[in-house]
Amino acid sequence: MTPYKRVVITGTGAVSPLGNTVQENWEKLLAGNSGIGALTRFDTTGFRCRIGGEVKNFSTDALLDPKEAKRLDMFCHFAVAAADQAVNQAGISGSEHGVNPERIGVMVSSGIGGLGTLSQQIQNLLDKGPGRVSPLTVPMMISDMAAGYLAIRYQFQGPNFGLVSACASGLHSIGEAFWMIRRGDADVILAGGTEAGITPIGQASFSSMHALSERNDDPTHASRPFDRDRDGFVPAEGAGILVLEDAEHAARRGATALAEVIGYGLSGDAFHITAPHSEGLGAARAICNAFTCAELPISALDYVNAHGTSTPLNDKVETLALKRALGEHAYRVAISSTKSMTGHMLGAAGGFESVVCALALKNGVIPGTMNYQTPDPDCDLNYTPNQCRELPLKVALNVSLGFGGHNAAVLFKAM
C-alpha cells in the first residue's frame, strides 16, 4: 500500500468583519478588536436583532472587471478576495511555478450561497413579473459557484466542488481536501469557506428561531462565547481559504510551509435539525476521529479554536464534547472562540478559523475569547478570557458544528 502523503499549508487568505487581509485580521484578533456593529445595508426597523458582522471597506474594483463582478453574488466576491491572497502567497498562479493545473483542485464551500441574489430576484418576480428575473439567477445563487468560479479564474482543473453542511461547510471542505491530497488525488487544493448571508430574510429567519443575540445597544459585546449571559450568536460574513499541498510537491518547488494538516474527523449527531446532541456525543466523536486519523495522543493538543457561537445551548454542549473527547486534558488545554470578535460567519467560519489556527501555530500566540465576564458553571474550561496569550504551540484543533448535526474537526501541527 502506498504510504499516505503529508499535507501542508502554503497559502492563507481571509476576509472578515475585522479586515480584508490576513495580516489585518490577525492584528485585530490579537488586539481584541470587535468587527460587530449596527447593520447598515438595509432598514432594520422591526427586527429583533439589528446587529451583525459586516465586511467593511470592501471593493471588487481591484479584483474583478465591473461586468464580471455583476455576474457574481457577494459570497463569490469574498471568495475571490481571500483566494487571491492565498494563491499569491503560495505562488501557484501559473505553470511557471512548477505546478500542473490538472493536479490543482478547488473545494471552497458556502452554507447558504447567494441568498442576496435569490432575495433580489424573488422581489423582481413579485414586483415586475417573470420576464424581469435575471437569467443569471441560478448560477449566482448556487453554493458551488465559488469553487467553480475560482477554478475558472486560476485555470485549476483538478477536483472541483463545493459541499454544504451549514456552519461546518468550510471545515469539512478543508478536511476533505486534506484526504484527497493525502491519498494522491491532487497535489494542491484551494479549500475553505465563504458566506454573505446578512440579508433581510437571513436576519429575520435566524431571529424567528431565537438564535440571534438581541444586545442591539451594545454590539461590540454581543458575541460572548461561554459567558453565562450569552444570548445568541451574531451573524457575520466573509471568507477563509487555505492552499493545501502535498509536502513533497511544496518542497520541490521551494514553497514555504506555514503549518501541517495532520488529522480530520467527522460525524453526524442524528439527533435534531438545529440543536446539537444534548450530551455532545457527535462532536466528541468527530474530535476523537481526528486524533485517530493523526495517530496522535490527546495530551499533544495545545490549543482549540472552538466553534463557540455564543448561543446558550451550543457553548454548553461543546464544552461537554471537549470534556468527553479530551478527558482531563480538556482542563489543561487553551481554548478560545474568535467568533467573540468576528461574529459567526456560518459556512465561512471553519475556513477563517483554520487560518487563525495556522497563524497561532506559526506565531506562538492564541487570540482570546472577548467579552468573557461572568463564568458559567456549565462552561468551566480555560477559554483564554479577554486577551491573547503567548504559548509554545505545536498542535491546534479547529471544531465546527452545523445545523443538521454535521460535525467536523481538523488538527494542525506547527512546522
Distance (Å, rounded) from C-alpha 396 to C-alpha 200? 36
pLDDT at 93: 81
Distance (Å, rounded) from C-alpha 368 to C-alpha 366? 6
Clarify whether residues 186 and 62 are in a common domain: yes
265 beta partners: 409
Active site residue 293: no
Burial label for 66, CB within 10 Å (0-12, 13-18, 19+), is exposed
Of 208, 228, 252, the last residue of a domain is 252
Q: Residue 189 corresponds to which cell in the numbers above?
A: 487544493
Burial label for 169, CB within 10 Å (0-12, 13-18, 19+), is buried
What's 319's domain CATH number? 3.40.47.10
Q: Interior CA angle at 214 toward 209 and 215, to 5°?
A: 155
> Is 339 within the bounds of a domain?
yes
> Is 2 within the bounds of a domain?
no
Residue type, 400: S
Kindly compute the dihedral angle of the four CA atoms of residues 400, 406, 407, 408, in this order, to the nearest 10 degrees.
Answer: -70
Of 252, 275, 305, the last residue of a domain is 252
pLDDT at 98: 74
Clarify whether residues 108 and 224 are in a common domain: yes
> Is 296 within the bounds of a domain?
yes
Clarify whether residues 211 and 273 are in a common domain: no
Clarify whether residues 207 and 295 are in a common domain: no
> Is 235 within the bounds of a domain?
yes
Clarify whether residues 118 and 185 are in a common domain: yes
Distance (Å, rounded) from C-alpha 79 to C-alpha 156? 15
Burial 15-51 (b: 16+ CB within 10 A, else e): bbbbbbbbeebbebbbebbbbbbebeeeebeebbbbb
Q: Residue 204 corresponds to which cell in the numbers above?
A: 429575520
Contact between 199 and 74 (Cβ < 8 Å): no
Which residues in the chain come in under a pLDDT of 50? none
pTM, full prediction? 0.97
Contact between 210 and 275 (Cβ < 8 Å): no
Residue labelled with grid coordinates 501555530? 361
> Is 1 within the bounds of a domain?
no
Sign of CA dihedral 256, 259, 265, 271: negative
Clarify whether residues 240 and 331 are in a common domain: no
Q: Interior CA angle at 230 toward 227 and 231, to 5°?
A: 170
Q: What is the pLDDT of residues 289-314, one digit of tens each?
A: 999 999 999 999 999 999 999 999 99
Catalytic residue among 49, 76, 167, 293: 167
What is the DSSP secondary structure assignment for residue 3, as one 8-state letter? P
Distance (Å, rounded) from C-alpha 221 to C-alpha 227? 11
> Is 259 within the bounds of a domain?
no
Q: Note down the domain range covering 242.
A: 7-252
Clarify whether residues 399 and 276 are in a common domain: yes
Clarify whether residues 409 and 375 are in a common domain: yes
List, in order, residues 6 or more apart from 307 with CB less than 8 Å away.
167, 283, 314, 318, 337, 339, 349, 399, 400, 401
Give the helix, strand, coil percentages of the chain, each rounded to 5.
40, 20, 40
Clarify whether residues 189 and 57 are in a common domain: yes
Of 225, 252, 279, the last residue of a domain is 252
Can you say how many angstroms the Cα of residue 26 is from the centroid of all Cα atoms in its chain? 15
Clarify whether residues 244 and 269 are in a common domain: no
List, in order, residues 6 or more apart from 354 with CB less than 8 Å away.
170, 171, 174, 192, 240, 242, 305, 398, 410, 412
Q: Report the number of distinct structural domains present in the chain.
A: 2
Clarify whether residues 291 and 175 are in a common domain: no
Clarify whether residues 212 and 295 are in a common domain: no
Contact between 251 and 398 (Cβ < 8 Å): no
Helix ranges restricted to H, 185-280: 200-208, 247-252
Q: What is the pLDDT of residues 149-200, one digit of tens each?
A: 999 999 999 999 999 999 999 999 999 999 999 999 999 999 999 999 999 9
> Is 369 within the bounds of a domain?
yes
> Is 348 within the bounds of a domain?
yes
Distance (Å, rounded) from C-alpha 21 to C-alpha 28? 11
